[in-house]
């Protein structure tokens, strides 16, 4: 999360496209929520303004100028990998840069081609 | 100086529990001069807590602070808590990690000051733009700090970016060494912050992050960040991530420095059974990290337990372990049964006690009973070395305080021994029960003069060990004091940034300057060192004004009887050290 925020030049947690939650406390372990770059992404289909384009190789690309901040994409993603940035009212989406993976000490996150 | 960065850090949130009001002040004055963390906390303490304040009265304050490096550099993961300790009546600090530091920083604060006391039980939800005062009536009396966390997780929001600090039964009942649990498995453990929470009827504080700040010099930042990150992945942190601090059990036992049965010996015959190696092999179930830490030193054991009333019905619980609780509740009480040790640890966690103080208090009680100074009329239980089932009951009694004896024990071992006798084997330094080392005289000197009476004040246990392993002679006591003070002064810098002290070998004056300067600061190594001394002396001055005189300390006779790797400790050596210390501090404060 920190690396993802820092990629944009921010120190913080809430601009990250990654979320880490514990399903019932630390003792239950962690869930890392990150975009899996769907081949057929429901979020893109749910976008009424075509601001989310299907990306070659999987996942989506956001065109912020088209986005109206309706949040349909958030609803459409069952994984929970999209959230709205409360400051910009636009979705925070993964750009598949792999910067986070460089700082994951245990290889939990990796950047891979989607098969 | 980096105006923007300092400005984001300099917001201090003030909360008044009596008036249920809050406001934010810009304290650039403090953060510019004192950096953050402990430097700023000391100054806020001075502003907030009057001399002579009752630690459990509304005039005491709870101060949390973070620093300029918090969360954005590896292992800059700790929050400082400053308050007047109900255990020894002096300025005290306690440090904890978990998600506390990142939550405070990204809720938009460099420090939080909690004043006054609430009439009724309350808990706080701190968010970037508001503070909510919530009725804690439904939570008060929930004795397990772990359960309180479970409830709050469901009702407060902020999953993944929040920190939950709370007390268990011990804090409510004002046990003077009650802890504050952070998330699960981390604590503001020492010096009784839990009792201060309890005295204010404050059950919990939930802090939720939400702000983001521009990093000033991104290119420089990325360079130095990566350099430090690589170092944290290297050999400097190995002992913390492999076996964790529990690795110390064997290494200390081998040299005869593992406190055993109330510090009567430095060797425990059952050490193997409760060693880091054995725990990793048989019980280690998960390792986790604080936010921003690539090391993950938090070791969790899984305890599988069959129900007493039904065969093949099991429950599995997770309990974190570290060296100190293992010494305090293990070797120091003659416990070598791993399962039993974890049942005790679980009880200490649930009730929200400090494991070190609890173990030392019970060790004194066990020895006093053995020697006939007290009887089962007092202890109500037949306390015996190694009998963990009885100790689990005794831990409960410290919290519920069914008689005068346990009421005294809940005040700390010093008070209990004053009332019932056995002071010569009541292990406390300035009324604080010690962490687990019988390494030699430097450690005990450091416990006496260290500003928080913690082994991490100056790491003097490690100085002792180095003298031993190199076969060197003890330095003159004057020289020893100088060395201890020098190290403690430097650690004030780390504690102001705020860096976990497990990264003390990674962060050098050089890379700290680079790390700060990427945030638009303008620091030189000399300026850093100077600041360390300034904070150190400031703390000593405050304690002095509160009445602390090192040479008047009661030193438990036991430490002069039990041999250490450096031989028996000479009383004269310690006395001379304390006199030197008093002179230095007396002259400069």
Among A26, A83, A88, A102, the strongest candidate for a mutation testing the B interface, having the largest count of B CBs within 10 A, is: A26
| φ/ψ (deg, to 5) at B71 | 75, -25
Mode of pairing for the β-strands spanning B122-126 and B21-26: unpaired
Min CA distance, A36 vs chain B (Å)? 19
Instruction: Report pLDDT for B2.
Output: 54
User: Could you give the C-alpha distances from B107 to B194, B210, B212, in angstroms and in order?
Assistant: 23, 6, 9
| B212 in reach of chain A (CB within 8 A) | yes
Question: pLDDT band at A27, cuts 50/70/90?
Answer: confident
Min CA distance, B307 vs chain A (Å)? 20
Helix, strand or coil for residue B481? helix
Check if the beta carbon of residue B112 is closer than 8 Å to that of residue B12: yes
CA distance B436 to B266: 10
**Structure token pair of residue A75:** 């609803």
Partner residue facing B292 (CB), from A2, A20, A27: A2
Q: Identify the helix (H) or strand (E) that includes residue B280.
A: helix B276-282
Q: A104: nearest CA in chain B?
A: B294
Verify whether the Cβ–Cβ distance A12 to B106 is below 8 Å. yes
Check if the beta carbon of residue A45 is closer than 8 Å to that of residue A90: no
Verify whether the Cβ–Cβ distance B153 to A25 is below 8 Å. yes
Instruction: Report pLDDT for B451.
Output: 79
User: What is the sign of the dihedral through the CA atoms of B524, B529, B535 and B537?
Assistant: negative
Q: How buried is residue B526: exposed, middle or buried, by Cβ count under 10 Å (0-12/13-18/19+)?
A: exposed
Verify whether the Cβ–Cβ distance B233 to A105 is below 8 Å. yes
Choose between B131 and A22: higher pLDDT: B131
Give CA B561 to chain center in angstroms: 28
Q: B318: nearest CA in chain A?
A: A27
Verify whether the Cβ–Cβ distance B212 to A26 is below 8 Å. no
CA distance B445 to B455: 11
Min CA distance, A47 vs chain B (Å)? 26
DSSP per-residue codes, B228-266: HHHHHTSGGGHHHHTTGGGGHHHHHHHTT-S-BTTTTBS
Among A3, A13, A83, the strongest candidate for a mutation testing the B interface, having the largest count of B CBs within 10 A, is: A13
Q: A10: nearest CA in chain B?
A: B214
CA distance B96 to B500: 9
Half-sphere exposure of B204 (CA within 13 A, CB side): 36
**Structure token pair of residue A70:** 């309706």
pLDDT (tens digit, 0 to 9) for every residue of chain B, 589 residues total?
458 899 999 999 999 999 999 999 999 999 999 999 999 999 999 999 999 999 999 999 999 999 999 999 999 999 999 999 999 999 999 999 999 999 999 999 999 999 999 999 999 999 998 999 999 999 999 989 999 999 999 999 998 899 999 999 999 999 999 999 999 889 999 999 999 999 999 999 999 999 999 999 999 999 999 999 999 998 888 888 899 999 999 999 999 999 999 999 999 999 999 999 999 999 999 999 999 999 999 999 999 999 988 999 999 999 999 999 999 999 999 999 999 999 999 999 999 999 999 999 999 999 999 999 999 999 999 999 999 999 999 999 999 999 999 999 999 999 999 999 999 999 999 999 999 999 999 999 999 988 788 889 999 999 999 999 999 999 999 999 999 999 999 999 999 999 999 999 999 999 999 999 999 999 999 999 999 999 999 999 999 999 999 999 999 999 999 999 999 999 999 999 999 999 888 777 7
Min CA distance, B325 vs chain A (Å)? 19
Verify whether the Cβ–Cβ distance B288 to A30 is below 8 Å. yes
Which are the contacts of B484, defined by CB distance < 8 A and separation ≥ 6? B442, B445, B446, B449, B450, B458, B460, B463
Q: Compute the CA torsion angle A31, A37, A42, A44 (nearest 10 deg).
A: 130
Check if the beta carbon of residue B179 is closer than 8 Å to that of residue B166: no
Min CA distance, B211 vs chain A (Å)? 6
The full length of chain A comes to 115
Q: Is ipTM beyond 0.90?
A: no
Check if the beta carbon of residue B563 is closer than 8 Å to that of residue B441: no
Min CA distance, A14 vs chain B (Å)? 6
Check if the beta carbon of residue B496 is closer than 8 Å to that of residue B37: yes
Q: How buried is residue B69: exposed, middle or buried, by Cβ count under 10 Å (0-12/13-18/19+)?
A: buried
| A97 in reach of chain B (CB within 8 A) | no
- Mean pLDDT over residues A25-52, rounded? 91
Q: B163: nearest CA in chain A?
A: A25
| A2 in reach of chain B (CB within 8 A) | yes
| Residues B356-373 pLDDT 10s | 999 999 999 999 999 999
Verify whether the Cβ–Cβ distance A9 to B211 is below 8 Å. no
What is the DSSP code (8-state) at residue B168? -
**Structure token pair of residue B231:** 């170092």
Min CA distance, A33 vs chain B (Å)? 11
| B159 in reach of chain A (CB within 8 A) | yes
**Structure token pair of residue A82:** 């999209």
> Cβ contacts (< 8 Å) between B105 and chain A: which residues?
11
| A23 in reach of chain B (CB within 8 A) | no
- List b or e across B320-331, with b for residues whose CB sees 16 or more CB atoms inside 10 angstroms: bbbbbbbbbbbb
Does A25 have pLDDT greater than 80? no
Q: Outline where chain A has alpha helix (H).
A: 2-7, 42-46, 72-76, 99-102
**Structure token pair of residue B150:** 């479970």
Min CA distance, B290 vs chain A (Å)? 11
Instruction: Report pLDDT for A8.
Output: 87
Largest CA distance in chain A: 43
Partner residue facing B160 (CB), from A11, A12, A20: A20
Q: Identify the helix (H) or strand (E) that includes residue B96.
A: strand B91-96
Q: A3: nearest CA in chain B?
A: B72
Among B8, B98, B151, B160, the strongest candidate for a mutation testing the A interface, having the largest count of A CBs within 10 A, is: B160
How far the first Cα of chain B sits from its last, in Å, is 28
CA-nearest of B421, B537, B560, B522 to B485 is: B537
Partner residue facing B229 (CB), from A5, A14, A103: A103
How far the first Cα of chain A sits from its last, in Å, is 25
**Structure token pair of residue B279:** 């725990």
What is the DSSP code (8-state) at residue B286? E
**Structure token pair of residue B395:** 């831990």
Verify whether the Cβ–Cβ distance A25 to B286 is below 8 Å. no
Question: pLDDT band at A115, cuts 50/70/90?
Answer: low
CA distance B237 to B272: 23
| φ/ψ (deg, to 5) at B23 | -155, 165
Check if the beta carbon of residue B384 is closer than 8 Å to that of residue B376: no
CA-nearest of B169, B53, B66 to B108 is: B66
| B303 in reach of chain A (CB within 8 A) | no
CA distance B436 to B567: 17
Mode of pairing for the β-strands spanning B111-115 and B11-16: parallel
**The whole model's pTM is what?**
0.95
Instruction: Report pLDDT for B241.
Output: 85
Min CA distance, A26 vs chain B (Å)? 7
User: Could you give the C-alpha distances from B218 to A15, B294, B323, B336, B507, in angstroms and in order?
Assistant: 16, 21, 39, 52, 20
Q: A106: nearest CA in chain B?
A: B294
| B100 in reach of chain A (CB within 8 A) | no
Verify whether the Cβ–Cβ distance B212 to A20 is below 8 Å. no
């Amino acid at each position: 999360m920190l690396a993802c925020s820092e990629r944009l030049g921010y120190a913080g947690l809430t601009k990250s496209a990654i979320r880490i939650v514990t399903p019932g406390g630390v003792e239950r372990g962690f869930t890392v929520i990150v975009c899996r770059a769907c081949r057929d992404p429901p979020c893109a289909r749910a976008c009424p303004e075509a601001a989310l384009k299907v990306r070659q190789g999987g996942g989506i690309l956001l065109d912020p100028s088209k986005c109206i901040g309706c949040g349909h994409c958030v609803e459409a993603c069952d994984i929970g990998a999209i959230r709205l940035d409360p400051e910009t009212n636009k979705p925070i989406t993964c750009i598949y840069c792999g910067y986070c993976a460089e700082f994951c000490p245990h290889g939990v996150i990796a950047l891979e081609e989607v098969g | 100086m980096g105006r923007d960065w300092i400005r984001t850090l300099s917001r201090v949130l003030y909360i008044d529990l009596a008036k249920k009001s809050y406001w934010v002040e810009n304290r650039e004055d403090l953060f510019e001069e004192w950096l953050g963390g402990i430097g700023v906390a000391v100054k806020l303490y001075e502003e907030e807590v009057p001399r002579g304040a009752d630690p459990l009265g509304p005039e005491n304050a709870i101060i949390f602070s973070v620093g300029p490096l918090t969360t954005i550099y590896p292992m800059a993961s700790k929050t400082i808590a400053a308050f007047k300790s109900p255990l020894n009546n002096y300025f005290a600090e306690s440090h904890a990690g978990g998600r506390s530091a990142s939550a405070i920083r990204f809720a938009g604060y460099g420090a939080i000051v909690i004043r006054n006391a609430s009439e009724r039980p309350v808990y706080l939800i701190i968010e970037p733009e508001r503070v909510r005062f919530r009725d804690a009536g439904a939570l008060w009396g929930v004795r397990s700090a772990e359960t309180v966390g479970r409830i709050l997780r469901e009702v407060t929001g902020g999953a993944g970016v929040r920190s939950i600090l709370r007390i268990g039964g011990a804090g409510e009942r004002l046990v003077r060494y009650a802890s504050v649990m952070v998330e699960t498995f981390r604590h503001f453990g020492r010096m009784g912050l839990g009792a201060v929470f309890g005295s204010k009827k404050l059950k919990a504080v939930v802090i939720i992050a939400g702000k983001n700040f521009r990093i000033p010099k991104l290119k420089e930042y990325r360079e130095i960040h990566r350099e430090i990150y690589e170092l944290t992945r290297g050999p400097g942190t190995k002992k913390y991530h492999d076996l964790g601090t529990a690795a110390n059990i064997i290494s200390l036992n081998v040299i005869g420095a593992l406190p055993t049965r109330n510090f009567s010996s430095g060797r425990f015959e059952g050490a193997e059974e409760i060693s880091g190696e054995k725990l990793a092999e048989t019980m280690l179930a998960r390792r986790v990290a604080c936010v921003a830490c690539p090391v993950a030193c938090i070791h969790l054991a899984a305890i599988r337990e069959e129900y007493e009333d039904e065969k093949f019905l099991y429950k599995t619980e997770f309990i974190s372990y570290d060296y100190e609780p293992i010494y305090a509740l293990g070797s120091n009480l003659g416990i070598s049964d791993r399962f039993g040790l974890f049942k005790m640890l679980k009880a200490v966690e649930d009730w929200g006690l400090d494991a070190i103080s609890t173990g030392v208090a019970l060790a004194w009680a066990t020895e006093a009973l053995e020697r006939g100074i007290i009887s089962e009329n007092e202890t109500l239980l037949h306390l015996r070395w190694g009998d963990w089932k009885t100790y689990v009951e005794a831990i409960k009694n410290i919290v519920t305080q069914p008689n005068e004896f346990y009421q005294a024990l809940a005040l700390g071992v010093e008070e209990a021994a004053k009332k019932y006798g056995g002071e010569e084997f009541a292990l406390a330094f300035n009324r604080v029960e010690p962490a687990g080392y019988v390494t030699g005289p430097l450690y005990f000197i450091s416990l006496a003069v260290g500003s928080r009476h913690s082994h991490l004040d100056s790491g003097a246990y490690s100085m002792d060990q180095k003298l031993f392993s190199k076969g060197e002679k003890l330095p003159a006591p004057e020289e020893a004091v100088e060395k201890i003070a020098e190290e403690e002064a430097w650690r004030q810098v780390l504690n102001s940034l705020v860096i976990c002290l497990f990264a003390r070998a990674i962060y050098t004056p050089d890379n700290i300057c680079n790390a700060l300067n990427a945030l638009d600061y303008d620091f030189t190594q000399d300026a850093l060192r100077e600041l360390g001394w300034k904070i150190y002396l400031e703390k000593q001055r405050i304690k002095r004004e509160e009445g602390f005189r090192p040479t008047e300390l009661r030193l438990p006779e036991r430490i002069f009887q039990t041999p250490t790797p450096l031989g028996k400790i000479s009383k004269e050596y310690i006395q001379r050290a304390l006199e030197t210390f008093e002179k230095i501090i007396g002259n400069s404060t």
